[in-house]
Amino acid sequence: MEGYLSRLRTPRPPPAGGRRTRRLSVLSPRTAAGQVFLVQTIIVVLLVVAAVACIMLQAARDAVRQGRRESVVAAQTFASAPGVSLALRSPDPTAVLQPRAEQARKRSGMDFIVVMSTDGIRYTYPYPAEIGKKFVGTIEPALHGRTVVEQAGGPPLPAGKGTAIQAVVPVTDTRGRIVGLVSAGITVTNVARLWMPQLPIVLGVGAIMLVLAAAGTTAVSRRLLRQTHGLAPAELGRLYEHHQAVLHAVREGVLITDEDRRLLLANDEAKRLLGLPADAQGRHVRELGLPEQMARLLASPEEVTDEVYLANDRLLAVNKRPTFPEAGHAGSVVTLRDTTELAVVSGRAEVALGQLKLLYEAGMRIGTTLDVERTAQELADVAVPRFADVVAVDLLDSVVRGSEPTTEGWRRLRRTAISGDQRMLPVYRLGEVITFSPETPQMLALEQSRGVLEADLRQARSWQEQDPERARKALELGLHSLVTMPLRARGVPLGLAHFYRREGSPAFEPEDVAFAEELGARAAVAIDNARRFTREHAMTVTLQRSLLPRGQPEQDALEVAWRYLPSEAGVGGDWFDVIPLPGGRVALVMGDVVGHGLHASATMGRLRTAVHNFATLDLPVDEVLGKLDDLVIRLDDEDDSGSTPDDQDGVGVTGATCLYAIYDPVTGICSMARAGHPGPVVVNPDGTVVCPEVPASPPFGLGGYPFEAADVHLAEGSQLILYTDGLVKNSARDIDAGLGALREALGGAGAGAGERTPEETCRAVIGALKPARLSDDIALLAARTRRVPSSSVAEWDVPSDTAVVPSVRAECRTVLSGWGLEETAFTTELILSELVTNAIRYGSPPVKVRLLLGRTLICEVSDGSSTSPRLRRAATTDEGGRGLFLVAQFAQRWGTRYASPGKVIWAEQILHDGASGPADHTPVDDLLEQFGDPLM
């Protein structure tokens, strides 16, 4: 501003136009005229280049079009000439047609006329050396009576190199048969000769245009230099920018008067401060209706510096200086600055700055976790004491539970957070369920979706009527002002935030409501994110737990206990299972699916179901993992096919891990295989902790890698510990440290560790290794082994002769009598005799029989054949085929499992107080009759 005023006071003498003209060239690139001329020159050159290119392209197209037309005419003319068809049938067509073709070529201006057979063999050519060779070009359409015109290249031509345009036409005899072909062609060369004559014209026009552009630009530039007194365009632009900035952009009033004290100029701010009329310019300052003191100041020639004058209830700081005093001008320039609002503006700026800082801090402090109640408490804490003295947050009860909020739940809110001196807020305590009346500020805020201000709570009747006794206590304790703000996210209300101020703090103003809305909006998004996470986490945990085992299956081989702890960040895909198998064996499974969320849980359920199905087939442990690997690859292929949404969390199954083990209580051997999963840990009966060597294989989904199994002998009373990596690895420790901590927790009691129950083992491990914050799921399975006593196992070899079946039944009767199962003897003998008979007839030696007594009675017959029997329907006239049907009817379950070598056919009977099977079995004769019934 001062620099601009000094320029107004000190006139700048106009520079001599002649000297500036001599110093700077009119068409210099530094001047606007030179830049315009440069642009015009570029445009003219581009136009000339474009014109030449168009002429060349047009000439080339015309030459090609003319060549196509002339080649067709020449070929058709020669093909239709008398004697051509007869010459083609002569013994030596070349001797007859070569002279005629060359004569016609030279006369027509063609580069070649080729006569050829229907096989494309040349009879004529400008160069005799090429006669007899295959014609280069397309002849098939001509053999069907059509004319072919194409661009091609072939042997050398008299015209030299170029684009050859050739036409191929058929030659027909008097009967209309095609006896040969004629091709005529011309080489399109020297295209430049078609446009070179026009080039001087184009260049001449371009030169004339450049001269005219230079002359016009020079004339305009000289006139501009004279009118601007030699100022360059950049100087003119800067001068105009300074003028606009001073007069209109600054928050100061500017008045310029002439020597007669008439107003020459007044910017917008001066008009506003002094209330000048629209036609003030050109009028005397005494005629503007200004206060006497201000009018006298403007009319006087004296200088003024920072004097304060009253005008229209405003205190104005005035500065006045003369304009161009050296040149004899008596005008003046006056600047006005409003100091009335300075203090107010400064105070508001400080308040606004404080609010901005508070909003920034709120963005950093609110939403640090995905817990609804914690997020609400963060909102309350961040607003105290810099915005309010006491803050309370009430959320819809459904929001606290993670459910979707509805309007039906508005009347039921739960006090979720309180910050500040709670003694000042005796209305409702933390955790109370509140039902607001329809006329209260809180309900109005919810219904109107906006903040409600109660500047003076002593006058807020509806607020007091909600709970008169508690409201009276709050007023006595000094609360006097309230802002109630709805917390809304995605257009849905989540609850309310109440901001209170007490005595000693100013009452809330309307501007505070806007700030509270901004603060509440930021907090509402964080609360809604936490609510949605709570809902998804609850749904995922429910799904996860529904897919995991709900109870222990009935089996005698293992005493089992487990723990599953979902992560706080989102439920993952950790899973485990205990699956009873035939022969009293039990399969233990521990797996981990990559990712978190519903997709991981659903994938875990699919893998668990697949394991159950594969276990039913009674496959070896390594084969089960191989089939799971194939399943994972198929699942990933389905996801890659595009059927899975792009934003699906955790898409992809590759990387899933699993450990599969089968324990046989008869032999005490546990077969194990693992796919990328942590190895098992065994606690021996004496308390020592060992880690069996189970070969490590890659995780599922990689394909092409075999899985290796290992057999581990477990003493009776040993504990087999299976777990997922979330137990031994987290952000605080690596996996090696975690495994060390696990071994220490399992063997911490010394010899007493072997006497723990699986439940006590799980409790000790989780207590020692569970981190403060679960960033990953934890699954733990502890199984203590049992052995089937030798007194409950009976087995013997059977000769491969059906005549020994009665002795097998007798041996079975003796064993059952020793076990006190005489009532099951008949059924068991029937099952065993049928299985032994099938093994002798259709199997191969050796044949063995084994009876196992436990919760159930299991009959097993093994042979050396791998052929599996199947249940089939026998016709009435068939002598056999009903054995397996009888076994299926009398046994609870039956099946086949493969061994090395051969197979084992087993049948299981449930024992009921010494009896096997249900009492309502159909008699054998009735069953056989029904089996032959054609209606079955």
Q: Provide the percentage of residues in the chain whose pLDDT is more than 90.
A: 10
Stated as kind and residue range, the H or E segment containing 464 is helix 461-466
The pLDDT value recorded for residue 145 is 85
Mean pLDDT calculated for residue range 614-643:
82
Mean pLDDT calculated for residue range 702-719:
89
Structure tokens that stand for 472 in this block: 């009276």
Look at residues 348, 320, 315 and name the one whose alpha carbon lies nearest to residue 333.
Answer: 320
pLDDT in tens, 674-683: 999 999 999 9
Integer CA distances (angstroms), 240 to 223, 233, 247, 709, 805, in order: 20, 10, 11, 88, 121
Q: Provide the percentage of residues in the chain whose pLDDT is more than 70.
A: 79
357: three-class secondary structure by DSSP: helix
Integer CA distances (angstroms), 722 to 355, 727, 743, in order: 55, 10, 12
**Cα torsion through 441, 446, 450, 453, rounded to 10:** 10
DSSP 179-200: EEEEEEEEEE--THHHHGGGHH
Burial of residue 290 (CB within 10 Å: 0-12, 13-18, 19+) is buried
Peptide bond into 385 cis (omega under 30): yes
Residues 206, 209, 214, 217, CA torsion sign: negative
The pLDDT value recorded for residue 159 is 59
Stated as kind and residue range, the H or E segment containing 481 is strand 479-489
Across 535-656, the runs of DSSP E, i.e. the strands, are 558-565, 572-580, 586-596
Report the C-alpha gap between 25 and 867 in whole angstroms.
107
593: three-class secondary structure by DSSP: strand
Name the pLDDT band for 692 (thresholds 50, 70, 90).
very high
Report the C-alpha gap between 592 and 727 in whole angstroms.
12
Q: What is the pTM of this model?
A: 0.51
pLDDT in tens, 342-370: 545 555 666 667 777 877 787 788 888 87
pLDDT in tens, 764-786: 999 888 887 777 888 999 999 99
Question: Which amino acid would we find at residue 5?
Answer: L
Own/partner contacts of 732-739, CB < 8 Å, gap of 24 or more, are 732/771, 735/678, 738/769, 739/678, 739/691
Residue 923 has pLDDT above 80, yes or no: no
Bigger pLDDT: 43 or 620?
A: 620
Structure tokens that stand for 266 in this block: 């007044």
Structure tokens that stand for 709 in this block: 């199994």
Look at residues 898, 828, 896 and name the one whose alpha carbon lies nearest to residue 857.
Answer: 828
Q: Which range (168-177, 269-278, 398-407, 585-594) has the least confidence?
A: 398-407
The percent of the chain in helix, strand and coil, each rounded to the nearest 5, is: 45, 25, 30
Own/partner contacts of 60-63, CB < 8 Å, gap of 24 or more, are 60/188, 60/191, 62/194, 63/188, 63/191, 63/194
Bigger pLDDT: 740 or 42?
A: 740
Query: Pairing between strand 696-697 and 669-675?
Result: parallel
The pLDDT value recorded for residue 347 is 54
Number of helices followed by number of strands (H, E) in the chain:
27, 32
Q: Which range (193-207, 258-272, 361-375, 561-575) has the least confidence?
A: 193-207
Q: Which range (120-129, 193-202, 342-351, 716-725) has the least confidence?
A: 342-351
- Given a contact cutoff of 8 angstroms between Cβ atoms, the answer to whether 859 and 835 are in contact is yes
